[in-house]
Amino acid sequence: MMKLFIFISVIILTGCHSPNKKNSGSYDLSKISKEVAEVDTLSEIYLPNPTFDFGKIQRGAKVKHVFYIKNTSKVPLMIYDAATSCGCTVASIPKKPILFNQTDSVTAVFTSGETGMQNKVINLTTNTSNSPQLLTLIGNVVK
């Protein structure tokens, strides 16, 4: 009887597990684990300009900027997610892997709300050894 109870408990506990990370790209994150990845399975990323200064803008204005990303390794570069530091910033990532020596982009849109100096960060989760990669939007919002 005790063995049956333990067996049912294990089934229930394993069935209750559900990942809470939303996959914003088209990749199956469950098949990739950085902890077990070998060095030759990681990609390399080149961000020529990871910071964009939008200067001075009026409160309520939107700023759109395209960050270019290049894959400098033979392993396809995958961008799994782009988490932003606040709801005022939205980022769009490539839906397909970036192949060797190819360039793609991440588009960021910042909607200004509060006045003053702004520093908004986009954390790119990638298949690189130094993930996450950071993209930054800075500037001054005035009335």
What's the pLDDT band for 6 if we cut at 50, 70, 90? low
Question: CATH topology for 44-143?
Answer: Immunoglobulin-like (2.60.40)
Here the tokens at position 35 are 């902890």
Here the tokens at position 9 are 């408990």
Q: What is the mean pLDDT of the chain?
A: 82
pTM over 0.85: no
The region that residue 61 occupies, defined by phi over 0 for left and psi between -120 and 50 for alpha, beta otherwise, is beta
For 58-93, write each residue's pLDDT tens digit. Answer: 999 999 999 999 999 999 999 999 999 999 999 999
Taken as a whole, the chain contains a residue count of: 143
- Give the three-state DSSP class for 31: helix
pLDDT at 41: 85
What's the pLDDT band for 37 if we cut at 50, 70, 90? very low
Give the C-alpha separation, 58 to 53, whole Å: 14
